[in-house]
Structure formats: structure tokens, C-alpha cells
Structure 1
């Protein structure tokens, strides 16, 4: 059986954009560090305890030591168990089991003080992503068999301390996006169920981010952060192989493209030290998923050049995420972390839910521990369980020859994170 792996990465679906159950709702990947995972990323734009602040709020670099390095890895295990409840799939009758498997998401950051008030840094990671892979003959094969999107994000940043109370920061992002999408041509004949169309496409694009950090008091910090949307024009090859390949212009190999605008995000965070041992953290974030209303896949070569091959009408809605967390300083060496979050899905209903994005609202439960190995080095370990309620799907593409997928997903996600931070 073909498994469904989260890689560094982003998800489109059915010849366009979608995503399965990544860590955050939609196909957003919050695992940009492990130091925040233990708190369910509560306080993400205000904490500024290591160089990974470059992603969540570049202004936080002014709270760091002269030079700091952080490298991390998150191991993610999604589970998507589909139960068929009356799908109409023509000549496709196969079932599929758990479409999830372990995968790894690395990240890295470097911060450098040019003087006491001016800092520069760079971060590397993958803010969106998912890979989905089902059995070749499952009932939804004409919707999607495999969807593999990778994003690589490099984020140079700068921060300036205005005074003891206020710091500001900004950055630019170069982002690489690569997509591979495979599906059966149609469900209306055996030849078409054994004919496969594959889209391989890629894009380079630029975005930006800004942030501000306010030291309200010795005990309280407030952070604001905004990351822009990024417009991608994916260009590549549409390949058709199998029994019916070449039977018509629509089933021939050629060039294709698709425009995708990844959403912007806004974060408001706060941290407050109750005493020498306890610290509270909070986070409210907004993601502008409505930038993805629909995605057109358009041929750019051959007799059908300019023709839309397929339109994915996602009609995503904007979403909110709320997180709270707490830290307990056991002693000079160890700190314990706890977190809880509620994350909305951008999918409006079961009719617009895609097999490459069996997404739903999710609730985070997280724990973590931070070990100060020395004055200059620190290790963070964290674990998260994401509860996802039963997820219904009733996606009807029969009018386009791809059948109707009707059923229910039983989904969940486990995340394990580790991070090493060094001041030098």
C-alpha cells in the first residue's frame, strides 16, 4: 500500500491546491522549532528565548545574546483512516487503510549582533506542507492517488532595539515550491481507471514579514508579528501514461501551470511571569486562507494550450488559532512546559473537503522539557497529540468523470520535537 507522508511541505490537491492533516489546520506547518512545541506555540511572537524567534517575530533577536544558533527536528506521525459510506466510483472499487506515516521536518536559525541594538539573522524551514499517497485502485483514485508538495523557505532578517521597551524587526523570504500530483484519469471505463495523469511543477517566489516586541514590564512581554501571503506560479509538465494515453488531446503529455497564493498570517502573543518559577503564555493567530478560493490548472502547450484542465473549488475560509501555555522552572537546569490550543480548519464543509485534505478542526495537547546543559547550550524536547474529530467527506466530481467520494475519516496527529541551541 502506498502511504501518506508529511515531508517538508505543502499540499495542493487534485491537480490543484489542497492538503491533508498537517500539524496546524489546513496545510500549515507550525513546527518551526521544538522550544515552542511544548507550549503548543503559545506566546510564539513574545517568547524570544532562542534564535528561532526569527520565524515567529524577528524583533525578538534583540533579546538574545551576541551570537546564537538553533537547529531542530520534528518527527510527525499523521493518521488518516478512511471508511467508505456509499462512494460512487464507477470501475474503481478498492479500499484504502491508514494513509499516514512518520516523516521529519528540520529547521535552523542563526542570529548575530552587529552592535548592542542592531541584529541580523537567517532562518530556514518549511511553513506549509503535506504529502498524501493512497492505493492505486482505491475508490477515490480519480480524485487523488499521490500528492507531494515541498516548500523550502529561507528568511534573512534584521532587528533593531528602539529603546529598553520597544524592538522592531523585519525580513524577506525566498520560497521554493515543488509539486507532484498523480491521479487516475477517470472512473467511467477500465482503460481510464488504468490511465494516470501526473503533474510535476515548481515555482520560486518572494514574501516578507515584520514584527514588534514590547517589554511592558520586567514580568510581561507582548509581541506582534505579520507574515505576508506569497504568490506562486507553478510551471511544469503534465504527463499521461496508461491504456488510454494519447487517445485524445486531453490525454497527451504537455506543459501546464497553476497560480496559488499562500495565506498571510498575523500573531498577537503575550508572556507573563507570575513568580520565579511560573510563567504564563498566550497566543491568538489569524491565517488568511480565503486567498485560496479556487485553483485552475491550465495547459500551456499543444492544441489545448490555454484550456483549463481542472479547477479545484476549495473556497477556503479565514481561520483563527488560540493557544495557552505555562512554564515551570524546576531548578537552574530544568524547565517544564505545558500547552493547549484550538485550531480552526479552512475547509467549509464535507462537500468541499478533498481526499488530499481530509482536514478538520483540531485540539492540541502538548508537554515539553528544557535542559540547560551549560551557560551557553540548551536542549529542548517536546511532544504533542492533536485530537481531530470524525471528519465527513462527500466530494462529488462525477460530472467531470471522477466519481463521488463519500465517507468518513478517523484522524489524529502525533508530533515529537528536539532542538539544540547554542550561544557563542
Structure 2
């Protein structure tokens, strides 16, 4: 018993540390991550709300814990690699409408490792409890420093880890209900180069020949973190020995990523700053997390074939803008004298999305099962406001998986791999917009429009793979 506890504690400690330091990457489905369990990845997450195979049901539907006996542990990791690169004809203009020289930015997304750990414990015939650690959201993109669109985006990073205690009850007649809390710690980073062309022209104009290259470009680095809470409620109904249905509802929230904005080589003649300087500002970046609802069905067609289906609706329309807001009470770097001034604004206006999933499991032998799945995942990104930070598109997810289970020892191992096929190329036509009216470009000074623009078409493809180890005690 002591040896089992030691292994259990070691697994928990490893998964916790790995989740904290792991980067995350996603370019479709918003910044939500699908790669939470290799056992579910094998069927493209089909029917997860109605298919409690192991302790990962803590995440997918806490009501499913009622169908697990004793103590269950499940842990693993997934690798997600997205290739996203602008074509060579990407182009940009600066604040004065002059061409920006540079490259297409290279492949902006590195491979990411996404660990997870889940546990359940049967307390009585009608009550189960569980706990999970996973990475529900993430985003990572990093352009080369000479990227032509560097005045819009350089590095974008969002890393989130969720701690999810859960409980379930059942009535003994096929109906179960579960509830859980997601305690989410998130940290983000946004960087870009500062376009000083307008400032350069303004300070050199009295000489008679404005020089847009008088000042070198600057750099902005914004970092912050926050803790938020969402809630989950799930239901599972066993219609018969062959068929059951599941429902899981999750609330949304808004994270307030508080931190600092550090600007180097900052110039703003409108505020009397004509000598390049370094400044720091306390800021907050609001980030909306969507509510969602998932339905699932599982049907055992024959003794060896099980069919799965599901759908998820997510309210991504909560994410209307990406703003950097001052937390200074005595004035800020834009000259606005009050807390709450918007220092930077990016119009997003994301849209609500559907994800549809189909999957099948073939139990070839008592030990071996093989899986396959397909999912269609809508991108929430508004086509009118696609940005260089998230050049997303709808995608199709095709997966294969295999499962080995030893009934005597209680050990199960799942492996899965999948490919993501995007609907065409991501097209970006980004400008600087006014906070009050996203249909208009921003004004550098009253009556002087900001002519900054970035246009690029991205080639997108990706693959993912995962492994999951489960144990029933």
C-alpha cells in the first residue's frame, strides 16, 4: 500500500510541475485545447460526456464518476504541433502608409506538450469524488524579429492550468449528476515592435523635410496573470445496457491579467516625449473565457463495436476585444490622467462556435481495442477582424487510437494520433482601429489617420499525439 501511495504522489507532483511550465499552442477553436486525454483523442473527443472510460471523466462529465468503481488514476500528456507561416507575399505599411521592410515571420508555432492528471474515488454506492489537473486554454505564437507585421504582433503567449475538484451522485437507477469547480491560473504575454515613423516625421517636419526614419523602432512587452473560477454541472443517463446519454454545462468568466507594460525606445511628441526613453506602466488585460454546453451519446452496436457522437457549443462572442488598460491612478504613458484608460485596442468580435464529433471503438480482443474519430471544429475568429496573433480557420480533426488493458492488474494504456486539416488558408488584413468604432482606423492626432496595415495569407496544418496511462485500484 505504501508503495502505491508513493507512486501516486510522485505522479501527481510530476503532472503538476509539468503543467505549470508547459507552453500551449492553438490556432483554431479559439484558445481552447482539445488535447486533454489520449483515450478521448482516439475518437476525436466524440461522446466524451457519455463515455466514462477512466478518471478523465472528471473533466468531460463529472457525472461519469458514478460508473467507476474504487479508486482510479489517469495521467498522460499530448503533443500538439501547428505549422503556421505567412506566405512570402506578406506585406505591411507603417503609420504614414509607407512600406515596411522585412520577412514573412517564419513558422510562428513551436510544438507544445500538454500534460494532465485525473483521480476519482468511490465514497459510497451513490457518491464519488474526483480531482483533475489539466491545461484547458493556451496560445503560443512567436514571429521572427524582422517580420513585416511586427508593429501588430511579435510574441503571443497564454498558458493556463486548471485544478478541478468534482463530486457526483447517482440514484441507483441509471441517472447520475455531477458538479465541479475549475480553479484556473493563467498568465499571458503580448509583445510587438513600436512604430515610431509618425513621431519621426513630426519632430523633423520643422526642418522642411520630414524624416520617418529619424527614430529607431521601439518595443512593447506586456505580461500579466490572474486566477479565475468556472463551474461545471453534468448529467449522465443510462437508457439501457447498450445506450447512454450525457450532458455537461460549463460557465464562463473574465480573467483580469494584471501586470506591467514595459516600453523601450518610446517616443510620443503629442505628450512632449521627444527623446527616446524606457517607461513602465501597471496594466490589466481583460480576457473572456466562454461558457459552453456539451452533449454526448454512446451506443454499443455489437459486442465488439461501440459508436460515439457529441457536440459542443461555446459562446466565444464574449471575446469582443483585446485591450490593454492602465491601472495607474496618477497618469499613464498615453497622457490620460485616469485609471482605466485604454492604452492599446485590438478589435476581435469573435463568434459563437460548434464542434461536432463522431467516433467508433472496436474491441478486437479482451486486451486490445482500436479507435477512430472525426471532428469538425469551427473557428470563432471573425473573418473581418483576423489578426496576426491568431490567423485561424475552421478545421477538421481525423484521429486514430489504440488501447491496451490488463483486467487482472487494472492497468490501461491509450495512445492516439491525429491530423488537423484547415479549411483553406488564414487571411489577415489587420489595421489599427478606434476603441469606440472598430470600422474606423485610429487617429495619431486629431484628423491624422493611422495608415498602418498588415496583409498576409497563412498556410496552416497540424498534428497531435498523446499517451494516457490509467489504473484502477
- 1:392 — aligned with what? 427
Q: CA offset at residue 298 of structure 1?
A: 1.2
Q: CA offset at residue 117 of structure 1?
A: 1.3
Residues 91 and 99 of structure 2 are in contact (CA less than 8 Å); yes or no, is this contact kept in structure 1? no
Partner secondary structure for residue 317 of structure 2: helix
Q: Is 2:148 the counterpart of 1:139?
A: yes
What residue ranges of structure 1 are gaps of 5+ in the alignment? 1-6, 11-19
- 1:357 — aligned with what? 390
- 2:92 — aligned with what? 87
| 2: CA distance, partners of 1:225 / 1:74 | 23
- 1:99 — aligned with what? 108
Partner secondary structure for residue 49 of structure 2: coil
Kindly tell me: are residues 249 and 295 of structure 1, through their superposed partners in 2, closer, same or farther at Cα, counting changes over 3 Å? farther
- 1:27 — aligned with what? 31
Kindly tell me: are residues 112 and 225 of structure 1, through their superposed partners in 2, closer, same or farther at Cα, counting changes over 3 Å? same
Structure 1 or 2, whichever has the larger Rg, is 2
Task: Kindly report which structure 2 residues correspond to 1:391-410, keeping only aligned pairs within 5 A, or say none.
Answer: 391-397=426-432, 399-400=441-442, 401=450, 403-410=452-459
Partner secondary structure for residue 332 of structure 1: coil
Q: Is 2:468 the counterpart of 1:419?
A: yes
Q: CA offset at residue 31 of structure 1?
A: 1.2
Task: Kindly report which structure 2 residues correspond to 1:294-373, keeping only aligned pairs within 5 A, or say none.
Answer: 294-301=321-328, 302-304=330-332, 305-306=338-339, 307-349=341-383, 351-373=384-406
Q: CA offset at residue 49 of structure 1?
A: 0.6
Comparing 402-411 with 111-120, which one deviates more in the overlay?
Answer: 402-411
Partner secondary structure for residue 74 of structure 1: strand
Q: CA offset at residue 134 of structure 1?
A: 0.4
- 1:213 — aligned with what? 236
Residues 92 and 99 of structure 2 are in contact (CA less than 8 Å); yes or no, is this contact kept in structure 1? no
Q: CA offset at residue 165 of structure 1?
A: 1.2
Q: CA offset at residue 374 of structure 1?
A: 4.4
Partner secondary structure for residue 50 of structure 2: coil
| 2: CA distance, partners of 1:229 / 1:402 | 36
Pick 1 or 2: higher relative contact order, CA cutoff 8 A, min separation 6. 1
Q: CA offset at residue 39 of structure 1?
A: 0.5
| 1: CA distance, partners of 2:149 / 2:361 | 45
- Structure with bigger helix share is 2
Aligned residue pairs, count: 407
Q: CA offset at residue 163 of structure 1?
A: 2.2
Partner secondary structure for residue 225 of structure 2: strand
Residues 186 and 402 of structure 1 are in contact (CA less than 8 Å); yes or no, is this contact kept in structure 2? no
Q: Is 2:236 the counterpart of 1:202?
A: no
Q: Is 2:290 the counterpart of 1:263?
A: yes
Q: CA offset at residue 194 of structure 1?
A: 2.8
Kindly tell me: are residues 284 and 66 of structure 1, through their superposed partners in 2, closer, same or farther at Cα, counting changes over 3 Å? same
Comparing 363-372 with 96-105, which one deviates more in the overlay?
Answer: 96-105
Q: Which of residues 158, 167, 184 in structure 1 aligns to 2:176?
A: 167
How large is the Cα RMSD of the aligned pairs?
2.1
What residue ranges of structure 2 are gaps of 5+ in the alignment? 1-20, 198-211, 333-337, 434-440, 443-449
Comparing 80-89 with 285-294, which one deviates more in the overlay?
Answer: 80-89
Kindly tell me: are residues 59 and 249 of structure 1, through their superposed partners in 2, closer, same or farther at Cα, counting changes over 3 Å? farther
Comparing 187-196 with 38-47, which one deviates more in the overlay?
Answer: 187-196
Q: Is 2:64 the counterpart of 1:60?
A: yes
- 1:293 — aligned with what? 320
| 2: CA distance, partners of 1:131 / 1:299 | 24
Q: Is 2:244 the counterpart of 1:236?
A: no
Task: Kindly report which structure 2 residues correspond to 1:243-282, keeping only aligned pairs within 5 A, or say none.
Answer: 244=267, 247=274, 252-282=279-309
Q: CA offset at residue 244 of structure 1?
A: 4.5
Residues 26 and 140 of structure 2 are in contact (CA less than 8 Å); yes or no, is this contact kept in structure 1? no
